[in-house]
């Protein structure tokens, strides 16, 4: 189940925005974003 609503009662533990990663010319991540709240991970 995906919960797309922000939860103001728990602090953000991890917030990654617009992540890009490549190995040489092979792009493996293109603009990935993730927010994990305290207790999620």
The pair of structure tokens assigned to 40 is 């999620």
Q: pTM to 2 decimals?
A: 0.61
Instruction: Quickly list DSSP for 3-20.
Output: --S--TTS-EEEEEEEEE
Report residue 37 as tokens: 């709240």
Give the pLDDT of residue 9.
86
Question: Can you give the residue ranges of every domain in the chain?
Answer: 11-41
Which pLDDT score is estimated for 6?
Answer: 65
**Tens-digit pLDDT profile for residues 1-41:** 455 566 568 999 999 999 999 999 999 999 999 999 999 97
Q: What is the pLDDT of residue 28?
A: 98
Give the model's pLDDT for residue 21: 98
């Amino acid at each position: 189940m995906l919960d797309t609503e922000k939860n103001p009662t728990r602090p953000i533990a991890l917030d990654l925005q617009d992540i890009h990663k490549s190995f040489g010319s092979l792009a493996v991540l293109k603009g990935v974003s993730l927010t994990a709240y305290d207790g999620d991970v």
